Chain A
């Protein structure tokens, strides 16, 4: 499974994941209460730039992550310019771009395994409400296996339909694949139960 993690040995890579997430939360809070001003905009854009440089990430990697958002930002900034003054509109946009980029820096510099471990630790206190962190970890592993299995099902069903030689609409494989997926879920459930993972 592809992950967004970019391997590295920088200070940012080596920092414990929990502290990175914590720092992100603090900065996000600070940015959202900071008043609309040129200084806020500069600080908001300097922060992710500094982290990207420290982590020795390629700027293009991180910018690619907000490519989809850029269209939205453009539309939103235009709408804001109608209703708000330019400084407020620019500060709003800078705040969001900054927080999104910083959050993405955490993701880009932390391996999935370390994130899962951190998440399990965060979920620990929820034990008293019936959440079992180790089962969450198991479920996450199952999802990744199932994604691979689904692509196998799609290929199987499409082959089967093609071999029948009838012209079918392009979405005709969706329901058969879902039925196979639900069957597969029951099989996995049986297998887990047989191994005492109920």
Chain B
């Protein structure tokens, strides 16, 4: 995860375009916002399709929530949450976009529905912390804030919504539900750190995307 391992993005395909002369006004258009929301929903789907990080044996960390954390961190609270909502909408309508090619209304009836729904709030909270507020201000993503958002806030939000819902559906006590969830903690820590590393690299490589 050190800087050595990361390589620069290939040169932009259309080199003749200056990065500042894109939109006539300083602020992004609503068409651009719509496109960003849609493309990040696709990124979340793509993270569900690539094989997870192997932890030895058949156990692997599924990377889909990494996409959720990045949506919030890059796009900010409102666009990030919208992107996750759009992704979940497509899953509910029957596209197998969840990791393991799952999808359909069934996943929203299962015990993990709280975790799925929490992703919307997670993207919102992560975006709020990384971007320093609801609207764009001149707050730049920094390492400490990004790490706080993706590692601590992201995990707390997901568990705060997901665990009680799971306990409710399964008729478990709070403690038993917590124990069932503990197995996810190491993977979520890894994903949080990865999300922070990727966010800071994207901020260096393509800061435009962070601005509304």
Interface of B toward A, CB cutoff 8 Å:
5-10, 12-13, 22, 28-43, 45-46, 70, 74, 86-87, 89-90, 92-96, 100, 102-112, 169-173, 176, 179-180, 198, 201-202, 205-206, 208-209
Contact = CB atoms under 8 A, between A and B. Distances in A.
Given A92-B171, A119-B93, A198-B30, A103 B10 contact: no
Interface in A50-109: 65-66, 68-69, 72, 75-76, 79-80, 83-84, 88, 92, 96, 99-104, 106-108
A138 interface: yes
A24 to B, nearest CB: 7
Contacts of B38: 139-140, 142-143, 146, 185, 188
Contact of B104 (A4, A119, A197): A4
B1 to A, nearest CB: 9
A189 B171 contact: no
Given A112-B94, A189-B34, A80 B41 contact: no
A14 to B, nearest CB: 17
A100 B30 CA distance: 37
A186 B29 CA distance: 10
Contacts of A28: 109
A150 B50 CA distance: 12
Question: What's the dominant secondary structure at chain A's contact region?
Answer: helix
A182 B209 contact: yes
Nearest to A108: B104
B37 A139 contact: yes
Contacts of B22: 186, 190
Nearest to A196: B31
A179 B30 CA distance: 20
Given A21-B105, A80-B172, A189-B34, 13 more contacts: A5-B94, A80-B171, A104-B105, A110-B94, A136-B89, A139-B38, A143-B39, A143-B87, A175-B9, A175-B205, A185-B36, A197-B31, A198-B30
A168 interface: yes
Contact of A103 (B12, B70, B104): B104
A156 interface: yes
A178 B103 contact: no
B15 to A, nearest CB: 12
Given A193-B29, A198-B31, A172 B5 contact: yes
Contacts, number: 209
A42 interface: no
Nearest to B67: A178
A104 B10 contact: no
Nearest to A168: B7
B46 A96 contact: no
A22 to B, nearest CB: 12
Contact of B43 (A65, A106, A178, A183): A178
A161 interface: yes
A104 B41 contact: no
Contacts of A144: 42, 95
A192 interface: yes
24 contacts: A21-B105, A72-B112, A79-B176, A100-B107, A104-B106, A106-B105, A112-B94, A119-B93, A140-B89, A140-B90, A143-B86, A146-B38, A151-B46, A154-B46, A172-B5, A176-B8, A178-B198, A181-B39, A182-B39, A185-B38, A185-B209, A188-B35, A193-B31, A198-B31
A112 B95 contact: yes
Nearest to A194: B31
Nearest to B101: A2
Lowest 10 A-B CB distances belong to which pairs? A189-B32, A107-B104, A146-B42, A142-B38, A104-B106, A103-B105, A192-B31, A185-B39, A189-B35, A188-B35
A182 B74 contact: yes
Contacts of A92: 170-171
A121 interface: no
